[in-house]
């Protein structure tokens, strides 16, 4: 074989190898996948079984797999996997990370409640006056306003709906972000501390028991205590109390302010009025009085115009309520004494 032929053959072989290399690169480039789904219950440290709308996928987890975005592969957890086809013809995970729902913060609301024992790292179970809420926590949740989340602690959570149709926690804070409460308050020309806390079940017609960051405080009511804007003192309710020390060595309440999420109704004109006497039920909320009477339990809505003659509503307290029958076919409290 002449040198010229050998040279041409060498050039030809080099061209073939170059084309083959390009084909391999293109094959590798197109042999990568990004898939999303939920972690299967049979997942191990070596294999991820991913449930997708198209079926179950088996994806190998290698020592080189990037797991920085997902440290826990728990059943039903939503994850996204970047994977490729290995030389063994199996799918291998290049990267696994949590699938984060898109949260619409433009329609957020703030709720108040107590963290229950069902709470996990991913979901806060919050007991509120309207029931227990399940609120998801993700890597975008802002905890800067909350020193610590613990079972039994009362917190404010700003929630918004996510693309997964679940409620997500936008912020978690010790204080209501929409209601700034001053540390001191001037009442009757005297400046006094204004302490935040939550009402506890021991509260009665003589003493207010409320849990604060300093512990549980016992506070007396005075005939001059200002309860304007605070219709109820129910267990779990968030309040602020302007305090002063009396001559009897007790702390006394000069002013009590409701900090809970109260959306009082306003039925307008009433078609008829009547008075009812009974005991305040433990089922009562910031917006609704459940009154236990001799004829049964009544549901009475609290209005923006409801007038108190003395104390706010306390569980077990006997009261007489003058009601108006509203256009919404419900009784509304006009005055309570």
Domain of 299: which CATH number? 2.40.50.320
Residues of the domain holding 306:
270-336
Same domain as 146, residue 190: no
pLDDT at 5: 56
Within-domain flag for 51 = yes
Within-domain flag for 330 = yes
Q: Structural domain tally of the chain?
A: 4
Same domain as 151, residue 109: yes
Same domain as 280, residue 242: no
Domain C-terminal end among 98, 116, 148 = 98
Pairing of strands 47-52, 32-39: antiparallel
The string of DSSP codes covering 132-155 is EEEEE--TT-EEEE-S---TT-EE
pLDDT at 267: 62
Rounded to an integer, what distance in angstroms lies between the CA atom of residue 196 and that of residue 4?
Answer: 96
Under DSSP, is residue 282 helix (H, G, I), strand (E, B) or coil? coil
Same domain as 207, residue 191: yes
Runs of H (alpha helix) within the chain: 3-30
* List of residues 6+ apart from 131 with CB closer than 8 A: none
Same domain as 188, residue 170: no
pLDDT at 261: 62
Domain C-terminal end among 177, 209, 234 = 177
Within-domain flag for 87 = yes
pLDDT at 262: 66
Rounded to an integer, what distance in angstroms lies between the CA atom of residue 293 and that of residue 271?
Answer: 22
Two tokens at 23?
Answer: 């084909």
Same domain as 185, residue 173: no
Within-domain flag for 265 = no
pLDDT at 49: 95
Within-domain flag for 15 = no
pLDDT at 148: 77
pLDDT at 162: 85
CATH number at residue 107: 2.40.50.140
The answer to whether 93 and 64 have CB atoms below 8 angstroms apart is no
Within-domain flag for 16 = no
Torsion of Cα atoms, 199 then 203 then 208 then 214, to 10°: -50
Domain C-terminal end among 258, 292, 314 = 258
CATH number at residue 59: 2.40.50.200
Rounded to an integer, what distance in angstroms lies between the CA atom of residue 218 and that of residue 213?
Answer: 14
The answer to whether 145 and 178 have CB atoms below 8 angstroms apart is no
pLDDT at 30: 46
Within-domain flag for 127 = yes
**Per-residue model confidence as pLDDT tens for the chain (337 residues):** 555 555 555 545 554 444 433 333 333 444 788 898 999 999 998 999 999 988 999 999 999 999 887 878 888 888 899 999 888 888 999 999 887 778 887 778 888 888 999 998 889 999 887 789 999 988 788 887 776 788 888 888 889 888 777 899 988 887 666 556 777 888 888 899 988 888 888 999 889 998 887 788 899 988 889 988 788 998 888 888 999 998 888 899 999 988 776 667 666 678 788 999 999 999 888 888 999 999 899 999 888 788 887 789 999 999 999 998 888 888 998 889 8
Within-domain flag for 1 = no
Torsion of Cα atoms, 293 then 294 then 296 then 297, to 10°: 10
Residue whose C-alpha is closest to residue 308's, from 241, 256, 261, 268: 256
Rounded to an integer, what distance in angstroms lies between the CA atom of residue 279 and that of residue 256?
Answer: 22
């Amino acid at each position: 074989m002449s040198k010229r032929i050998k040279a041409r053959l060498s050039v030809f072989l080099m061209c073939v190898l170059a084309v083959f290399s390009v084909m391999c690169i293109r094959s590798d480039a197109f042999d990568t996948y990004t898939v999303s789904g939920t972690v299967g219950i049979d997942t191990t440290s070596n294999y991820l079984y991913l449930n997708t709308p198209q079926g179950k996928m088996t994806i190998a987890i290698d020592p080189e797999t990037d797991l920085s975005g997902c440290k826990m592969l728990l059943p039903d957890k939503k994850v996204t996997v970047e994977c490729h086809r290995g030389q063994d013809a199996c799918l291998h995970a290049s990267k696994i990370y949590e699938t984060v729902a898109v949260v619409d913060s433009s329609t957020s609301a703030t709720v108040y409640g107590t963290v229950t024992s069902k709470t996990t790292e991913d979901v806060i179970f919050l007991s509120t006056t309207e029931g227990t809420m399940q609120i998801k926590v993700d890597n975008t949740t802002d905890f800067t306003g909350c020193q610590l989340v613990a079972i039994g602690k009362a917190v404010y959570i700003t929630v918004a709906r996510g693309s997964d149709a679940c409620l997500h926690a936008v912020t978690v804070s010790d204080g209501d972000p929409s209601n700034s409460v001053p540390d001191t308050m001037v009442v009757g020309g005297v400046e006094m501390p204004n302490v935040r806390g939550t009402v506890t079940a021991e509260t009665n017609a003589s003493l207010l028991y409320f849990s604060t960051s300093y512990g549980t405080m016992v506070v007396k009511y005075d005939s001059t205590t200002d309860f304007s804007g605070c219709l109820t003192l129910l267990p779990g309710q968030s309040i602020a109390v302007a305090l002063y020390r009396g001559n009897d060595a007790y702390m006394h309440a000069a002013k009590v302010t409701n900090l809970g999420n109260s959306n009082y109704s306003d039925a307008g004109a009433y078609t008829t009025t009547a008075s009812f006497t009974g005991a305040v039920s433990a089922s009562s909320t910031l917006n609704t009085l459940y009154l236990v009477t001799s004829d049964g339990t009544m549901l009475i809505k609290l209005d923006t115009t409801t007038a108190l003659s003395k104390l706010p509503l306390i569980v077990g307290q006997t009261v007489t309520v003058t009601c108006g029958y509203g256009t919404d076919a419900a009784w509304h409290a006009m005055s309570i004494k």
